[in-house]
Amino acid sequence: MNEETRTVVDFRSLLKEFRKDKLAVIALGTLSLLLLLVFVGSVFFDASQVMQVDLLNRYASPGKGHLLGTDEAGRDVLGQLLLGARTSLMAGTAVTALNGFIGIGLGLLSGYYGGLLDRLLMRFIDFIMVLPASVLVLVLMTTLSEYNLFTFILLMSAFSWAGKSKVFRNRTQSETKRDYVRASKTAGTNDLLIMFREILPNFGSLVIINTTMSLARNIGMETGLSFLGFGLPSTVPSLGNLLRYAISPTVFENYLWVWLPASTFIFAMLLCIIYVGQALRRAADAKQMQA
């Protein structure tokens, strides 16, 4: 086994170690069922119809016409739940992907080249990391007269990639000292090819673990901001907008069907994602100790 293989947790070995954790397998199965329910079930609902006001059905209890009842505007809760979960998942996934692209890319560049570029990028990243990201997002959201899902994703992504950059910068610095990287440089291989074709694949387990935890954090952040009224517009179905109904004592006590399904769903989904991420981290640590 060569040096590169010894220092990297093989993806298949990671999955083999992961499967030993029965609770993690159950969490992954539960998460898969929730995602299937959301993306298949939401196909049967049209957002414009679901969000249409029907005061005659205001706070209708769960029944044949509305399986999970309706809210204060007579809108179907089940439709809002499925469409809102899809929106929250799409927003969280988009933010995670954008953060990963920026964070991993800058981390690779900084760690690979070092020198002045590394110092400049690290000082800029340090500056971004000390900023109160959540507060800045709140302020920016209040200053915008109109915004949509795309704008919301960009704002959430603007300040949350810095920590990821530092992690991958440190790993890249140690990786560039290995023989296979030195051999590629000596052979005249293009720097970008070395970074993205040779170094980055060795971070497979780290990318998976980091992405999983980031996804849970970003979904939670979107839900929290919408719950506080600083997230997606109220006309857009989202889990946070459904949870906001629980602020009213009357709704909280007398109309459980309005907010309880959304809170149960977001709790179960985030719990599963976080547990899967932690299990992947434990599996990676166990394989590295055996290597």
Return the residue matching tokens 């993690």. 24
Phi, psi dihedrals of residue 237, rounded to the nearest 5°: -60, 130
**Which pLDDT belongs to residue 287?**
62
In a domain, 58, yes or no: no
Per-residue pLDDT of the chain (291 residues; tens, 9 = 90+): 444 444 444 667 777 888 888 999 999 999 999 999 999 999 988 888 888 888 888 888 898 888 898 888 889 999 999 999 999 999 999 999 999 999 999 999 999 998 899 999 999 999 988 888 778 888 888 887 777 888 888 888 888 888 899 999 999 999 888 888 889 888 888 989 989 888 888 887 788 888 988 999 999 888 888 888 887 777 788 888 888 888 888 888 888 988 999 999 999 999 999 999 888 888 877 765 565
- Whether 89 and 73 have beta carbons less than 8 Å apart is answered as no
- Structural domain count of the chain: 1
**Which pLDDT belongs to residue 136?**
83
The widest CA-to-CA distance across the chain, in whole angstroms, is 75
**Which pLDDT belongs to residue 9?**
47
Return the residue matching tokens 């020198």. 115
**Which pLDDT belongs to residue 74?**
87
DSSP string, 42-82: GGG--HHHHTS--GGGTTPPSSSS-TT-B-TTS-BHHHHHH
| CA 180/CA 103 separation, integer angstroms | 24
**Which pLDDT belongs to residue 274?**
92
Apex 28 CA angle, 27 and 30, nearest 5:
65
Return the residue matching tokens 């509305």. 66
Domain that holds residue 234: 3-48+68-290
Model confidence, pTM: 0.84
Apex 74 CA angle, 264 and 66, nearest 5:
60
217: domain CATH number is 1.10.3720.10
In a domain, 201, yes or no: yes
In a domain, 164, yes or no: yes
In a domain, 54, yes or no: no
In a domain, 129, yes or no: yes
Other CB atoms closer than 10 Å to residue 196's CB: what's the count? 14
In a domain, 179, yes or no: yes
Cα of 87 vs its chain's centroid, Å: 12
**Which pLDDT belongs to residue 196?**
87
CA-based radius of gyration for the chain? 22
Q: Which amino acid is at 80?
A: Q
In a domain, 62, yes or no: no
| CA 66/CA 75 separation, integer angstroms | 9
Is 130 buried (19+), middle (13-18) or exposed (0-12) by CB count in 10 A?
Answer: exposed
